[in-house]
Amino acid sequence: MGERKLKIADLARDLNVNRGSIGRMYHETTEKVDVDLLNSLCGYFKCGIADLMEYTPAGENLSDSGHTENR
């Protein structure tokens, strides 16, 4: 969304979804994955799920450099 200068509120309105759901995904604070939301986002951006998120094993965190750090 940042690359396209798209506002969370505008995207939520375009997809007819809750603004908070998109905000939590954008800020990486969501605790559950909403498959319908992922499907809508992939259709909107014409991308795959891997373009929206990546798997990080529990107990690990990505550093600013993109390298995995154990916690």
Other C-beta atoms lying within 10 Å of the C-beta of residue 7: 12
At residue 1, the pLDDT reads 58
CA dihedral (38, 32, 15, 27) positive or negative: negative
Cα–chain-centroid distance for residue 62? 15
At residue 3, the pLDDT reads 64
Phi-psi region of 56 (alpha: psi -120 to 50; beta: other; left: phi over 0): beta
Q: Report whether pLDDT(70) > 60.
A: no
Domain positions in the chain are 8-70
Tens-place pLDDT, residues 8-64: 999 999 999 999 999 999 998 988 989 999 999 999 999 999 999 888 888 776 655
What's the topology of domain 8-70?
434 Repressor (Amino-terminal Domain) (1.10.260)
* Predicted TM-score (pTM) of this structure: 0.72
Other C-beta atoms lying within 10 Å of the C-beta of residue 22: 23
